[in-house]
Structure 1
Amino acid sequence: MMNLLTKAKVLEPANPNRSTALFGGKASGILNWNDIAYPHFYDHREQIRALFWRASEIDMTQDIKQFPTLTEREQDAFLKIIGLLATLDGPQTDIAAKISDYSTDPSVKSIMATIADQESEHNHSYAYVLSSVTTLAKQNESFETGRKDEVLLKRNERIMDVYNEFAAFPTIENVLKVMIYTALLEGLFFYSGFAFFYNLARHNKMVGTSTMISYINRDELQHGRFISELFRATLAENPHLNTTELTDWVYDQFRYSVEQEACWSRYVLANIDGIDLYEMEGYVKYRANKMLRMLGLSEIYPDHIENPMKWIRAYVDNFDGNKTDFFEQKSRQYTKTSDLNGFDDL
């Protein structure tokens, strides 16, 4: 019989302030950051909160002028990738809220609320970019990509299944599976798209867009850090779910996701100047290894321990888990300037 979680009550004064479990436990609903079950969650909260920004802060003046000068292939990839990112980020606001609904730890609820807000801004930022550079018809067409593009629909099948399964049947096991796909979204699914915009920027194209993408990328890195930690803590609280079956399921999702990301890359990035598809696939496998390490699991691509796309480090924080613990590193400070972060000098 399936043990469904119930939504946590808003206030239950008979329960302790410090939660007894992340999911399926008891807590009053009163959040005292000096008395929480996982004190290091406060550090995650502070790091995520430090990343506040708004799409309207990004100067798109040069991008407006440059977009018509992009090749037809670059324009097509630009619009499809924005469509992909919107398809992935749109549900993240809702899924963060759903995880919060069923968590019985008020610190988790607080952090997920911030994550949900940031995901909402990410989705808004894609509309902001498109409204700056193309017509309303093209904007709407880009946002239809996630509903109509066959390659993208295939790519997102399992995401849709796992998210909808959790919405219908909120069990702890399904919470764990949702966290895995959230980690995949934050740490792997976006990266071929991010690489496209960073590649344009290193050729001094669409630098405003790439600046915004780097802000989103930094947010996602922080989200991925917290979700991975939440997954590990939830699994530790529920050791009966720490099975070979679950581990095998996670590895299968990672292999499938890498295959789909590589397929998408070949579809949308073919013939883009500066993008090597073989290198791109290696980068995706490298990212998969890093995400697995964060989740406490073993690497599955032993030939892809090093980042094959060294140039991308100029555009995004590099968390290298080889010598320094991923969770101990700090995100760089944002610089919100009208000269577009100095990318023209790279």
Structure 2
Amino acid sequence: MSSETLNTRKIMDPDAPNRSTGIINGRSSNVLNWDDVRFSWAYPKYKRMLANFWTPFEINMSKDIRQFPQLSETEQDAYLKIIGLLALLDSIQTDYAGKVADYLTDSSLNALMIILAQQEVIHNHSYSYVLSSVVSKSKQDETFDYWRTEPTLRKRNDFITNGYADFAESPTVRNLLRSIVYDVILEGLFFYSGFAFFYNLARNQKMVATSTMINYINRDEQLHVDLFAKIFKEVLEQYPEENTKELEDFVRETFKHAAELEIAWGREIIGNRIEGIEMHELEDYIKFMAHKRVKQMGYEGPYPEHKKNPMRWIVAYQEVDLGKTDFFEQKSRQYTKTSDENGFDDL
């Protein structure tokens, strides 16, 4: 069965309504009136993404600068390699978000993609900011090139970039849907052993500034995952013929493969060498997250035996898009940035 080719959004369509007629391959004037948009969830998402705004300059790295040389060799190695991984993945995301935005007929969703891409740029800036604080320029350059030299990293990264390639080269409805699967893997699964590593450092009062920045990134990525899951479902609503058993199997099997790659990376970078993280718990946590993400996309998860989070201490950094008061929001401000005075020691 052939899949419909995607048409790029027109800069202006004076004969079309402001409210789009479809999420893709529809018509819209491209004039954005937030009180006249197709999707009721778009404006709340916009407000939440704005509320998450931050910049790396807000983070005082002085204590981390003093602590980094005191980390064990294993901790230093994991710290740098995980930052190197995150830098590559967020670089890819900036470009991918722009490509998706080109085909979203709805101007409100195009706006959300632009904000998402800007947040990915900030994430990448934060990695440069962190590394320039704690290591030399030559070590920073080496870290940003780890994806070229580390075989496990290369295998994971090729998995994502190859997954995006079909959509970039042949933009059809089917390829868009499949590319979103890889996006949710990247933002909702592939970061998570790295997040666990930094949060574990923080709960032991190590590198709290870095982990604070990682938490800001984690909050953004949760919103991004939810946005793409919503787009995935809206596309299937518009094109129900694409919602096949083949697609469901693809989602489930691709997430299982991704979980295996993330577990292999966790064994290599963390193993049982980091105090506070048991590898068997991390493996179960990765499967738990994979199961959760597949369900978020509307299908039965691939790991029904992993419905509960085995690393409960990390829950303070999750579920940031559910409108709940979380671990960090303990001051009068609606959005309180975390420091070593207001947070991590309570985990």
Aligned counterparts of 2:161 and 2:133: Cα–Cα separation in 1: 30
Aligned counterparts of 1:335 and 1:6: Cα–Cα separation in 2: 42
Deviations 1:101-125 (A, max 9, x none): 1111101101111111101101110
Distance verdict in 2 for CA 1:255–1:99, change over 3 Å: same
Equivalent residues of 1:225, 1:327 under 8 A apart: no
Equivalent residues of 1:30, 1:106 under 8 A apart: yes
Q: CA RMSD in A?
A: 1.7
Unaligned runs of 5+ in 1: 320-325
1:344: how far off?
Answer: 4.0
Deviations 1:28-84 (A, max 9, x none): 111111111111211111111110000110111110000001111111111100011
Matches within 5 A, 1:37-186: 37-186=38-187
Distance verdict in 2 for CA 1:283–1:103, change over 3 Å: same
Matches within 5 A, 1:187-336: 187-270=188-271, 271-314=273-316, 316-318=317-319, 333-336=334-337
TM-score, normalised on structure 1? Answer: 0.94
Aligned counterparts of 1:327 and 1:311: Cα–Cα separation in 2: 18
Aligned counterparts of 1:213 and 1:336: Cα–Cα separation in 2: 12
For 1:48, the aligned partner's letter is M
Aligned counterparts of 1:245 and 1:278: Cα–Cα separation in 2: 32
Deviations 1:223-277 (A, max 9, x none): 1111111111111110110011111111111000000000000011121111111
TM-score, normalised on structure 2? Answer: 0.93
Provide the secondary structure at the position in 2 that maps to 1:231.
helix
Aligned counterparts of 1:328 and 1:299: Cα–Cα separation in 2: 24
For 2:294, the aligned partner's letter is L
For 2:308, the aligned partner's letter is E
Provide the secondary structure at the position in 2 that maps to 1:96.
helix
Aligned counterparts of 1:340 and 1:227: Cα–Cα separation in 2: 35
Aligned counterparts of 1:73 and 1:294: Cα–Cα separation in 2: 35
Pick which of 32-41 and 189-198 moved more. Answer: 32-41
Q: Percent identity between the aligned chains?
A: 48
Aligned counterparts of 1:121 and 1:245: Cα–Cα separation in 2: 37
Q: How many residues align?
A: 339
1:313: how far off?
Answer: 2.1
Unaligned runs of 5+ in 2: none
For 1:148, the aligned partner's letter is T
Aligned counterpart, 1:322: none
Aligned counterparts of 1:299 and 1:260: Cα–Cα separation in 2: 17
Provide the secondary structure at the position in 1 that maps to 2:102.
helix
For 1:141, the aligned partner's letter is E
Equivalent residues of 1:5, 1:172 under 8 A apart: yes
Equivalent residues of 1:58, 1:340 under 8 A apart: no
Equivalent residues of 1:211, 1:340 under 8 A apart: no
1:318: how far off?
Answer: 3.4
